Structure 1
Amino acid sequence: MQRRFGNLDDVWPAGFARRLGAMVYDSFLVAAIWILVAGLHLTIGRQLLGISAERVGDGPFWVLSLQLLLLLSAFAFFAFFWTRGGVTLGMQAWRLRVQTPDGRSITLAQAAVRFVVACLSIAAFGLGYLWILFDAERRSWSDIASGTRVVALPKPAK
């Protein structure tokens, strides 16, 4: 169920620098998750399946299964936070939120589109995010493709 956010008059389109800051924060969290996933992958291969240390990671099955697990764990991280409250931990630190244009939390389908296009944007040497500098509404390729917006939130009242 989509959640409706309040104070929509107090938000504005997020700029490139803030988004980059949030991406750096979130990349550290995703790296930590990836370390755990890789450790579990290794443990399953060694302990449960009894494969020797030299053979774990050898062959296309091990490589592809680890890559798939890493991709799925990164998507799970972002989709969980984006669909629940619109903010990852990095976005919260930089006071950013992803939402629909009418101020609702995004759906799982929108999160999937955002994630895929974000990966493509980064693979294209970051051009999808540099697009923010040229778009009148400060949208990245993932915003445009998924029909979402990243907005900056005001400082909380003291």
Structure 2
Amino acid sequence: MSKSLSKRPSKSAAKAKKSAPHTSEVEELAIAKPSTRMAAILYDGMLILALLFLVGTVLTVIGTLLTMETGSESSQAQSLPTWYQNVIMTPSFILTLVGFYGLFWRRGGQTLGMQTWRLKTVNNNGHLLTWGQSFKRVLAASIMPLIFGLIGSVIGGSRAILLTSVFLGFVFNYAFCLFNSRGLAVQDMLSNTITLKMPKTENEGLWRVIRNRKRGK
């Protein structure tokens, strides 16, 4: 984030505000609050978990067939090799998140949950994100959960402590908004993107964007 952006409204906010109708009933465009962001994530969470579960199941089956001997009894069950979990499964989960968010952000700047809460993610110029910017934003959002997870593994090492630490890192991304002068989350700052709360008159739904693009082809 440049100093100029920290002292005046972002280009994305100025651009959207310029095109909004000038009536007293129109909401001001603003940076989304952490509570609203979390609510949108809860909406999207079920779909994301389903996608991750599907990817995890497929990779587990493949990993079992390729790296382990299968037995006929439950006592013969084994865990997947650590290298397979770290080199194959973890990057695949990240790519799944990039694919999910990238697809929605590139189409209309909104996931289904974000559309419900009138949130929109754009870059600092007010344009929809590219695949590269989407990838950078997802990675930026993963840094603090990863750091907290590493700390948790050093402190305790149990699965419960590890998952709790990762969750706290995730919450930290949005709690950071409360201490940032502009209300930016960690991933906003690291990826030079921003999530806005759209006025009702400016909140064009994702499906309408897709339909309009199809009609224009």
Which TM-score applies when normalising by structure 2?
Answer: 0.60
- Tell me which of 80, 84, 87 is aligned to 1:58: 80
Aligned equivalents of 1:109, 1:89: Cα separation in 2: 21
Q: Find out whether 1:78 has 2:101 as its counterpart.
A: yes
> Judging changes above 3 Å, is the alpha-carbon distance between structure 1 residues 30 and 47 closer, same or farther for their aligned structure 2 residues?
same
How is 1:106-125 mapped onto 2 (pairs within 5 angstroms)? 106-123=129-146, 124=148, 125=169
Q: Which amino acid aligns with 1:37?
A: V
Q: Find out whether 1:135 has 2:180 as its counterpart.
A: yes
Shift of residue 116, structure 1, vs aligned partner:
1.2
How many residues are aligned here? 153
- Tell me which of 3, 14, 19 is aligned to 2:37: 19
In percent, how many aligned pairs have the same letter?
26
Deviations 1:30-63 (A, max 9, x none): 1110111122223435679995265674323442
Q: Which amino acid aligns with 2:108?
A: G
Which TM-score applies when normalising by structure 1?
Answer: 0.79
Deviations 1:83-122 (A, max 9, x none): 2211112211211000123321112222122111111234
Gaps of 5+ in 2: 1-11, 21-28, 149-168, 203-217
Highest Rg: 1 or 2? 2
Q: What is the Cα-based RMSD across aligned positions, in Å?
A: 2.9
Higher relative contact order (CA 8 A, sep 6+): 1
Name the residue aligned to 2:59: 41
> Judging changes above 3 Å, is the alpha-carbon distance between structure 1 residues 122 and 62 closer, same or farther for their aligned structure 2 residues?
closer
Aligned equivalents of 2:182, 2:115: Cα separation in 1: 21
Specify which structure has the higher proportion of helix.
Answer: 2
